[in-house]
Chains A and B, each alone.
Chain A
Amino acid sequence: MELLSVKNIKKSFDDKVIINDISFTVESGKIVGLLGKNGSGKTTIIKMINDLLTLDEGEILVNGSKIGVESKKVISYLPERSYLEGSERVIDIIKLFKDFYEDFDEQKALFLLKDLDLDINQKLPKMSKGMKEKVQLALVMSRHAKLYVLDEPLGGVDPTSREKILKTILSNFDEGASLLITTHLIADVEKILDEVIFIDGGKVILAGEVETLREKENASIDEIFRRVIK
């Protein structure tokens, strides 16, 4: 079943074309990597899926609905930057998630935060960037969503923590749910991916199932990426 459908989307900032006629779909139960160099347009696409940027052209459907309240009910989004500001404590953000997301599992959040060595009574201003990213990840993975959209979840994390983050992601998304993950650290994520979409210059350069691509090119996804995107 098609959970996310991105059809011929375009986005420009002033005269600069950032996204140029991109189309792809994400099926239920699949883990899809949206891969590209920094500045290739990955985050712009993710922002459009999450109603943070308007589309110039094209259409995005999530579970059959246009971007709006219904799509937001089924998408759990981890942005590349932290929205954890103010003088609140982690527990206050948990309450906020509980207030606004029907599918939020508070017990799971408490478990994940503990698992990631985070104190729920700690004040946000006293947390490092990496700690805030872990808090956000725990909150996002504590929703029983249909589509998890993770924008550079490994971006600000040290190499030793990446395994732990990937484990947290993989072991905490619902069966049948899909995962759309963007990263430029391809070697770290390629083992968990079902499908990949390579983006460069605002266009899809290559897309397909990971196994098929590996067999066809006789190389790892990381190597294929390096060949295709120069």
Chain B
Amino acid sequence: MIKKLLKYDLKKMTNLLIYLYPITLAVALLTRLIKLGNSIQLIFIIGQVFSSITYSLVGTILVNTFVQILLAFNQSFYKDQSYLTHTLPIEKGKLLLSKYLSALIVILASIIISVSSLFIVLYSKTLMQGLKEMLKTVISGFNMSGTGFILLIAGIIFAEICFLISAGFTAIVKAHTYNEKKVLKGLIWFAVFYMASMVITFIVAIISLAISGNATVIFAEVLPESAFITLLSVALVIYITLSIACYFVCNKLFAKGVNVD
């Protein structure tokens, strides 16, 4: 049943993105091709214009990923489409799980397309060399490989995006436990969840630094390398934990029943 639900949820969440993905990749490739003739001034200018279009498209993908996921969630569970969604003979938990899994897949796809497009446009030996040098400098003090560091940063970004989506879903569900001003209440709850995550992150980070013997670094001007890695690891764990916690809160609220618009 989850497979069937995923099929329909992915379709709804990607109804615009499905066109943006190939267009962005095509424009990125075109930009790359144009840049091959960089020595001619006019082609250089056209290349710059196409680069800007690619960056705009990447921005559009990222914004749309958030908007489409949250819109699809809201429409499917609380607007006109909810009259079909909630009358399907499927457990509420499965309906919700499908939305979460679809959101994860769409986020991952958007990140991959965005990074690939930027890579196609920006790739050059000089840039790669520069990035390698920068990475070497950054990780020189850490007991960590370059790949490990990149994976850690990528993991944090992905986990934070997942948390934002999870918090967004929970805020929508919570807002619909009220009868009035649901949009405003949804925004307020989202802000509450986000602020709470900041506070929790801060408290857990301080506790982690204290445990690792780095408590004094919060007053230091420059963060020592060991403390930096501790903070990054803590951030990753916290975002994953909060995303899962939001899912369970959302599931519990959702199981109590819905009041559609």
Contact = CB atoms under 8 A, between A and B. Distances in A.
B118 interface: no
A13 B179 contact: yes
B89 A52 contact: no
Interface in A48-66: 50-54
Contacts of B260: 47, 52-53
Interface residues of B, number: 23
Contacts of B89: 69-70, 72-73, 100-102
B257 A50 contact: no
B83 A79 contact: yes
Nearest to A88: B11
A20 to B, nearest CB: 17
B222 interface: no
Contact of A83 (B81, B90, B180): B81
Contact of B83 (A13, A73, A83, A101): A83
Residue from A70, A73, A83, A99 having most chain B Cβ neighbours under 10 A: A83
A77 interface: yes
B125 interface: no
Nearest to B8: A96
Contacts of B80: 81-83, 85
A53 B259 contact: yes
Contacts of A73: 89
Contact of B257 (A54, A82, A101): A54
A143 to B, nearest CB: 11
Contacts of B81: 83, 85
A97 to B, nearest CB: 9
Contacts of A52: 82-83, 86-87, 258-260
B83 A72 contact: no
Contacts of B86: 50-52
Contacts of A79: 83
Residue from B12, B87, B90, B257 having most chain A Cβ neighbours under 10 A: B87
Interface residues of A, number: 26
B15 interface: yes
A102 B90 CA distance: 12
Contacts of A99: 4
Contacts of A215: none
Nearest to A80: B83
A101 B89 CA distance: 7
A21 to B, nearest CB: 20
A72 B85 CA distance: 11
A104 B60 CA distance: 40
B4 A81 contact: no
B181 to A, nearest CB: 11
A118 B86 CA distance: 26
Interface in B186-223: none
A87 interface: yes
A99 B259 CA distance: 25
22 contacts: A13-B179, A14-B180, A47-B260, A50-B87, A51-B86, A52-B82, A52-B83, A52-B87, A52-B260, A53-B258, A54-B257, A54-B258, A72-B89, A81-B80, A82-B80, A83-B81, A83-B82, A83-B83, A85-B75, A86-B15, A87-B15, A101-B88
Interface of B: 4, 8, 12, 15, 75, 80-84, 86-91, 179-180, 256-260
5 shortest A-B CB distances, which residue pairs?
A: A54-B257, A72-B89, A83-B84, A79-B83, A73-B89
